[in-house]
Amino acid sequence: MAGPTLSDVADAAGVSYATADRVINKRGNVAQKSIDKVHEAVAKLGYVRNVAAANLSRRRVYRLAFLIPTGSNAFFSRVRGHILQSASHLSADGISVEIVDVSAFSVDALQDSIGELTGCDFDGVAIVGLQNRLLEEPLAELRARGVVIIGLISDLPRECRSAYIGIDNMVAGRTAARVTGMACAARPGAIQTFVGSMEARDHAERLQGFSDVIAADFPHLTVLDPILTKDDPTVLNAAATATLAGGDGVTAFYNVGAGNSGLIDAIANASVARPFCVVHELVTHSKQALIDNHIDLVIDQRPDVEVNRAFAILRSLVDDREPPPMPDLMPTIYVRDNLPADSFNDVMEAQNT
């Protein structure tokens, strides 16, 4: 038996079909009394809006924006490549995408970029976030205009967004610690950590998860205070070179962020035995470093999956539907023995540099 139609809703509410249509599809210019009647009729009849039909009849175009950090970060070049590839594929479905470049780790720049979006006609935005109260006001203004907001890769303040898409960074940090602890279990030592910014939630959570496991299960190891790098390879190279030359009993390196090319160069050019080394994100230089035995482990968060999920969830939320069920996104652990044979990541980086 067919379900109730919009005509049934209009009849039950005692309004015209056009009025019922405006209420159901949120087109505005309807008296609150009529809105209430339509909603009561929808609840009574169990009417379910046909989103696909509504979008087709209106020739709906989804205008989406992705706010992505700028710089030489190979990981975010990879993210951009996946966004552009997905956008090209989805353009036939009426999806328009704009990538907005934002200075990495700059709260002021992110605040300004979010504020500028309020003057645009976007339906939804995905933001690589930071944790700072200065972002709350522009995010609230954007939401008040009906724009759907999700955090991507690094989360925003939770109350300011509708969803977060990314790995569990506490788990990623704990995983890095577990492997590091096992590798260094035979002797006491110190672990030097490197962090892009503590205002980046993914970085802070990875470091916290890492420190928790080392303290609980490997107390003979000491986690040294993190060196802040802003994900700058030059800064990371200088810090790692100084650490290697210092002879301070450092037995392991853990970089929670990017800039790994600088770290790899420091290790490759060192005249001392290298520490055990864990980094994040499988890109061209980290893959080659595994092959060359300069690092030991790469934890990859699969940005292709994250981008695909971002599109799916933004569309659902813009359509006022429940997002599709999705399993937790688990990172992939790479060593030199299980590297993927394809060159997709290399192609993505080449196209976006």
Q: 31-65 pLDDT, tens per residue?
A: 888 889 988 988 888 887 765 555 544 556 789 99
SS3 187: coil
pLDDT band at 312 (very low <50, low <70, confident <90, very high): very high
pLDDT > 90: percent of the chain: 68
Q: What residue segments make up the domains of the chain, in order of their start? A: 6-49, 59-165+303-327+342-351, 169-300
Residue that the structure tokens 């954007």 belong to: 142
Question: What is the predicted pLDDT for the residue at 159?
Answer: 93
Question: Is 283 a residue whose pLDDT tops 70?
Answer: yes
* Token duo for residue 45: 């009849």
Instruction: State which fold the 59-165+303-327+342-351 domain adopts.
Output: Rossmann fold (3.40.50)
Q: At what angle do helices 32-45 and 6-13 cross, to 10 degrees?
A: 120
Q: Of how many residues is the chain composed?
A: 353
* Mean pLDDT within 277-292: 96
What is the model's pTM? 0.80
Instruction: Name the amino acid, one letter, at 9.
Output: V
pLDDT given for residue 80 in this prediction: 95
CATH 3.40.50.300 fits 169-300, yes or no: no
Between 83 and 29, name the one with better pLDDT: 83
For tokens 């993190």, the residue is 226
Q: For residue 351, what pLDDT band results from cuts at 50, 70 and 90? A: very low
Q: Can you give the pLDDT at residue 151?
A: 97
Residue 254 main-chain phi, psi, to 5 deg: -140, 115
Q: Average pLDDT, stretch 293-297?
A: 97
Residue 251 reports pLDDT greater than 70? yes
Higher-pLDDT residue of 325, 251: 251
**Which pLDDT score, from 0 to 100, does residue 5 have?**
82
Contact present, 86 and 307 (Cβ < 8 Å): yes
Instruction: Name the average pLDDT for the chain.
Output: 89
83-137 per-position pLDDT tens digit:
999 999 988 888 999 999 999 999 999 999 999 998 888 999 999 999 999 999 9
Phi, psi of 7 (to 5 degrees): -65, -40
| 6-49 matches 59-165+303-327+342-351 in fold | no
Question: Is residue 231 scored above 90 in pLDDT?
Answer: yes
- For residue 344, pLDDT over 50 is answered with no
DSSP-based three-state secondary structure for 273: coil
SS (HEC) of 233-261:
HHHHHHHHHHHHHHCCCEEEEEECCCCHH
Give the pLDDT confidence of 157-198 residue by residue, as tens digits.
999 999 999 999 999 999 999 999 999 987 899 999 999 999
Higher pLDDT, 285 or 43: 285
Whether the per-residue pLDDT at 220 is higher than 60: the answer is: yes
Tell me if 82 sits within 8 A of 307, measured CB to CB: yes
Spatial distance between the Cα atoms of 109 and 89, rounded to a whole number of angstroms: 30
At the topology level, CATH places domain 6-49 in: 434 Repressor (Amino-terminal Domain) (1.10.260)
Q: Token pair 């203004």 is at which residue?
A: 141
d(CA 229, CA 197): 7
Per-residue CA distances from 28 to 8, 13, 124 (Å) = 21, 17, 19
DSSP 8-class letter at 92 = G
Residue 309's Cβ-count burial label (10 Å; 0-12, 13-18, 19+) is: buried
